[in-house]
Structure 1
Amino acid sequence: MIERKRGIYQGRNKSSAYKDLVWTVATASDTSLDILGQTQLTLQTIEENLKELGSSKTQIVSAQVFIANMSDKPKMDKVWCDWLGDNPEHWPQRACLGVNLEGDVLIEVTVTAVRD
């Protein structure tokens, strides 16, 4: 009943789904980029992961954003808002936390979404 999609890391999956709920997580595939580039790549991966399990960014109900430097939050927010679009009906609940991330990773995003 639980659907799982393998990622590249041992011991964890990139996405899981159960009934009408989907959970996924992503970081940027290119950590040489700045916060703008890493945020764009991360959100693109989130969108691809959701699609793979029958959901979409318009069906995200909850999101957690972890960033390495809270002074980058306004830049990340701009990319986030552009990605989500102008319709408030598609905006999820979201929390953003400053954390220590591994290596040159500047952002990690995890979401919960509904699927049909």
Structure 2
Amino acid sequence: MGEDWPILRSKGVAEGRSSGSAFSSLAFAVATSDDKRVGLEEQAKRCFRKIDGVLADLGTDRRYLLSATVFLSDLRQKARFDDVWNAWVGATPQHWPQRMCIGATLSEGTLVEISVVAAKVKR
């Protein structure tokens, strides 16, 4: 220990918030869709693109996901979300994070919000 680990932050879209941060060997990212007029699948895809960008800013990527928390405005839509999730997370089980889905009251128009934790692997 004794090393000075700087905290990295990825710019957020709202005042007082970051879209991601990293400390030591962990990176954290959160995303909602930038377009609330589109359906669940498109909102999820937009979240994934944002998460990919934030993780890249922080020096990692989705292959190193450890955990994901998915908040759905309508938990009955989980199967629809799972289809988009599976396409994004890929077919390699070694890259699959622990994941949970929670039904939640989200901001107006938001159908999905995703929070992830990833490892930062020395390359």
TM-score band by shorter chain is over 0.9
| Aligned equivalent of 2:63, options 58, 61, 66 | 58
Report the Cα distance in structure 2 between the residues aligned to 1:49 and 1:2, rounded to whole angstroms.
Answer: 14
SS class of match (2:81) = helix
Give me the TM-score of the superposition, normalised by structure 2.
Answer: 0.92
- Structure-1-length-normalised TM-score: 0.97
Structure 2 residues without counterparts, runs of 5 or longer: 1-5
- Equivalence for 2:110: 105
Question: Which of residues 80, 86, 90 in structure 1 aligns to 2:91?
Answer: 86
Alpha carbon RMSD of aligned pairs, Å? 0.7
Q: Which runs of 4+ in 1 moved over 3 A?
A: none
Amino acid at match of 2:16: G
1:24-48, Cα deviation, whole Å (9 max, x unpaired): 1000111111101101111111111
Per-residue CA distance 1:62-111 (angstroms, 9 max, x = gap): 00000100111101000000101111000000010000000100000000
Cα distance, 1:113 vs structure 2:
0.2
**Rg larger in structure:** 2
Asked if 1:74 corresponds to 2:104, the answer is: no
Specify the alignment match of 2:3 in structure 1.
none
Identity score, percent: 34
Aligned pair count reads 116
Match of 2:81, as an amino acid? Answer: M
